[in-house]
A and B are shown apart, each in its own frame.
Chain A
Amino acid sequence: MLRVALRGILSRRWRLLTTGIAILLGVAFISGTDVLSDVLTRGANGLIDAAYRGIDVQVRSSAATENEFSSQPVRPEVDASLLDTIRATKGVAVAEGQIQAQATMLDKKGKPLPTVGPPTFLFNWIDNPDLVGGTVTSGRAPNGPDEAALDFKTAEEFGFRVGDHLTMQLPKGPATFTIVGLGGIGKKGDQSAGARSVLVDTARAQQLLGIEGKFSSIVVKAAPGVTQDQLAKRIGQILPDKVEAITGEALIKETQASIAQILGVITDLVAAFGWLAVFVALFVIYNTFSILIAQRTREMALLRAVGASRGQILGSVILEATVVGLVAAVLGVAVGFVLAAGLQNILASFIPLAKEPARLTTSAIVTSLIVGVVATVASALGPAIRATRIPPVAAISETAVEPQEVSLRRKVFGALLVVGGVAAVLLAVQKTLEPVLTWVGAGAAMLFLSVLVIGPTFAGRVTAWLGAPLRLLDRTTGRIAQQNAVRNPKRTTATAAALTIGVGVVAVIAVVAASFKGTFTDVFQNQIRADYVVDSGGQFGTGMPPEVLAAVQQVPGVADASSLRLFGGIVLNSKKAAEQRALPRSELPPALRDSTAPVGEPVLTAGIEPKPFTTVFDLGRVTPGLSAVRDDGVMIEKKLAADNGWKIGDRVEFYFAQQHLQGGDGRIELPIVATYDKSFAIGGDTPLYFMTQATFAKLQPPQLNVDQTIYFNTAAGASGKTVARAVTKAIEPISPVASVVPIGKYFNDRLAPINGFLNLVYGLLALAVVVALVGIWNTLLLSIYERTREIGLLRAIGMERRKVRRAVRMEAAVIALFGTVMGIALGVALSLAFVNGFADQGIKLHLPTTQLVVIAVGGAFAGVLAALWPAFKASRTNMLEAIATT
């Protein structure tokens, strides 16, 4: 029996190969991301190691808070006076104050560097090769307030050379330096940090950041013979409260862990699409094995007739699936490795990480082999069991046709899947079932499966309807194609269902994204009353000094102008805060686990001048009134108050790291002084707490007390363009990075990164669609093989090759259209649930109709592409073989 099975596999190797391609693609993605994650992590780790190796102990504030806008938690500065105490400690060889802050840099034309891409940091130059973590490779180290060193990668990219001028926008205004040296990380200075680094004189850095007398941290080198642990302990004893000393080793580990977490998010996202492709591949394999077994009915029956047991038949099919899965998995690992190496090269141009050679990881191999074999065997199991039910008498009957009626059992099972899927999705989006994503995924998977199960009940009617236009195109060929698409509803459904999955997910993302974008645009259009925005242009935390707003207000023709300052904080007495505290500490980001900051709900605080701000931005009805919004109080959205059961006068307990450092425990209670009823959709689902700018300045770090955005209106009768030009001129000397943008362009710019991300997601989803197309290709090839005689007959009685090809392409178009239409229907249904789940954030459904039609038509065309080769094969059918009478 084993020999029969192996012979069978060999004789069908080409047909099985195409089956294998479906699983291969998914496996390649999963193993490829594993390899990529490994190589990126090693690259990042090597870099961190090179940058921090010389540091034996770092002294820093222990009050770290999470921040939406940066990967690392934010820590307040430490007092510069600590430096002398540390230098005096026994076992300290060298100690230096370190400064690190995000900044905005201008290119040679005076334009801010793009916000998408590596962040820009301002560092102080430390004249110690170990503690500065890098080496100047051309020119010399900066010396004096007007000199700077720049990392070589940024210099290369933007054409800076030694001797050029470099302008930066910093909280205390713009500053221009002369570049005196270029360098990089590591002893050789040939590594790049994946960030843009500008190094300047310490005192100048402090002054520009507004942190005179302070350092971001203090880095220490131990005297010979003193271990890191000993020194950290010794320094720790003399440090004041809320300042800690950690060993260089711990610093490296902590930084590596938080980088690994970010890389993990990225690679997990990519791998998720690999898993989706595997899910699609399950459908394709199931279908292929069903067809192969139907075609081999007589062979199976003969084996049964000559004495093979059911178990042996089952075993032979399972063996076949195992071999296919194994071969596909092995090839998948190889393809994945190549894919990873390719992706690494592409990524290298964005993230200049140290280039480590890609390495095949054990986990990639093990996961791939398991996924490949288990997925293939699992999806071949159903057809295999069906094979065991073939009666021996089928060997002598003329034709054995698969039963076409949909059994009651199948209908009931399908109905259960639909009910289960709908229930899972609905309960998950209402957060009754947690974790939400897992349950939504499970529900969606059940719904996609239900398509496979009950699809045959309506496949005939729907494909007849979808295929009708083809008959207008070419009556006879169209009729033949449409009939072929309808003739085996189970096969058609299974083929189409694979496409349904990919298209379904595309549709969900399209609808959800359109709903978010639509809602966002609605909010802006209905609530923003400003004509122009002055955008700080830089990255977060590098806004405009208050002088900019003053300058804008003085330009003739500007009617109302108001600004917004944003920074994070932690709320301790909200409902979400209680939930956060209930989580185990191990679920926090690594750098926060040992933080002395309390655990709570990260929120955004917004500093505004209430009266002018509400003139340019409609927050709806403010209760009890705008005049109630005074210093040392917060104004929140009505819904946020209701969600937490707060009313006006109740106190919100905050924690601000800045306050913590200035003495006390950092906890501050602020009363709710007013509520507003129109959502301010800028922070996404992060709750927003408005306060006066005076309060904001008091609570938040001085270098962040800058305007993020300024909104302004032009006076009646003034020409918008003229005013905008005047404003640009007025603010240029104060903040060269700031730009004046018409409000319409401002939204579009905000939406651009979302669109970029969506394109990436669509690109990744293409994989699932490609796997489904492989399925269509494979099914058509098998069907054509089955219809050899029929096609031969058509050719004999006068159908040209051209028309044979056309018939196959049309059949594929009908099947693909069936798949995409079901996908869009399911996708829209699922996204209704999603959008409903986001309803409490004010998200309203927006259907991207044009996009959905394009997806449907595109799906049909993709099906036609997949049919090109099968169509060619069909047109080359050997007529004589076809009409032979054996």
Chain B
Amino acid sequence: MSDTTTSTVIAAAAHDATKVYGHGDTQVVALNGVSVDFARGQYTAIMGPSGSGKSTLMHCLAGLDRLTSGQVFVAGVDLSSLDEKALTQLRRDQIGFVFQAFNLIPTLSAIENITLPMDLGGREPDQQWVDQVVTTVGLADRLSHRPSELSGGQQQRVAVARALASRPQIIFADEPTGNLDSRTGNEILTFMRAAVDELRQTIVMVTHDPNAASYADRVIFLADGHIVDEMPNPTAASVLDKMKQLGD
């Protein structure tokens, strides 16, 4: 990919990102010189067979893991230049997360989970924005419930609300619908789509579900640590075809 001369604003980018696990005989190259940009306001899906490096790419982009070589930028900041504390604060203030499962702290209520990143940072949440997010997600009557009192779909919606509530630069979602039935899954995906279209959010989602990928603006395909293809405006059928090719 080219550098930042394009007119769109880049929310996050990877330059020649390489990640090697282990050494000697057990060495595994998870990412092998990946370069990619994520424009602001764009919804990107990352796909690939297991072991392709898609999760590793997301972890490194999100500051959860560090590259062996290369660079990752979020909001123009080179993550490799940050120490542990600064990186944590960057995750807290600039990045939103939605994981497949176990997204919420079981001892805190839904609203406490939603405002947790801001509470941790000692920031006052923007009450109007939080209200808007909560209303959009449709959780207004569930705010004082503990996660164990919510359904799987409701829990994921709380997680999405948390990711949105602090108005991060970018949201990373790791198989956000992996644990949900298809109807609830679609609800979440629709909601994430709406977050991009209506709330101008940037989302990067790792998935292996072609249907989930079809909600994105573009799909990036990874195999053996390389980007092997990119597909704008995907549909479930076109993604499935591509996946079949890669599987061969």
Contact = CB atoms under 8 A, between A and B. Distances in A.
B105 A796 contact: no
Chain B, interface size category, equals 20 to 34
A642 interface: no
Given A797-B116, A801-B84, A885-B100, A484 B107 contact: yes
B103 A793 contact: yes
B84 A479 contact: no
B85 interface: yes
Interface string B84-110: 110011011100010111111111100
Interface string B152-190: 000000000010000000000011001000000000000
A795 interface: yes
A798 B108 contact: no
Interface in A755-808: 789-790, 793-803
A278 to B, nearest CB: 34
Given A803-B120, A880-B64, A885 B88 contact: no
Contacts of A475: 119
Contacts of B178: 885
Given A801-B84, A885-B100, A885-B101, A487 B92 contact: no
Contact of A793 (B84, B89, B99, B119): B99
Of B64, B65, B97, chain A has the most CB atoms within 10 Å of the CB of B64
Given A480-B108, A483-B108, A883-B99, A797 B162 contact: yes
A476 interface: yes
Given A476-B119, A793-B99, A798 B92 contact: yes
A477 B120 CA distance: 7
A641 interface: no
Interface string B203-226: 000000000000000000000000
A405 to B, nearest CB: 15
B4 to A, nearest CB: 26
Nearest to A475: B119
B84 to A, nearest CB: 7
A483 B88 contact: no
A480 B175 CA distance: 27
B64 A879 contact: yes
Given A480-B107, A798-B120, A789 B102 contact: yes
A462 B92 CA distance: 33
Interface in A829-886: 879-880, 883, 885
B112 interface: yes
B105 A790 contact: yes
A401 to B, nearest CB: 9
B22 interface: no
Interface in A465-506: 475-477, 479-480, 483-484, 486-487
B117 A797 contact: yes
Contacts of B119: 475-476
B97 A796 contact: yes
A880 B65 contact: yes
Interface in A796-825: 796-803
A476 B116 contact: yes
Contact of B93 (A476, A487, A790, A798): A798
A798 B65 CA distance: 14
Contacts of A883: 64, 99, 102, 174
Interface of A: 475-477, 479-480, 483-484, 486-487, 789-790, 793-803, 879-880, 883, 885
Given A793-B104, A801-B88, 6 more contacts: A789-B102, A793-B99, A796-B99, A797-B116, A798-B88, A798-B93
26 contacts: A477-B120, A480-B107, A480-B108, A483-B107, A487-B107, A793-B104, A796-B62, A796-B64, A796-B97, A796-B99, A797-B92, A797-B117, A798-B88, A798-B89, A798-B92, A798-B93, A798-B117, A798-B121, A799-B88, A800-B88, A801-B85, A879-B64, A880-B59, A883-B99, A883-B174, A885-B178
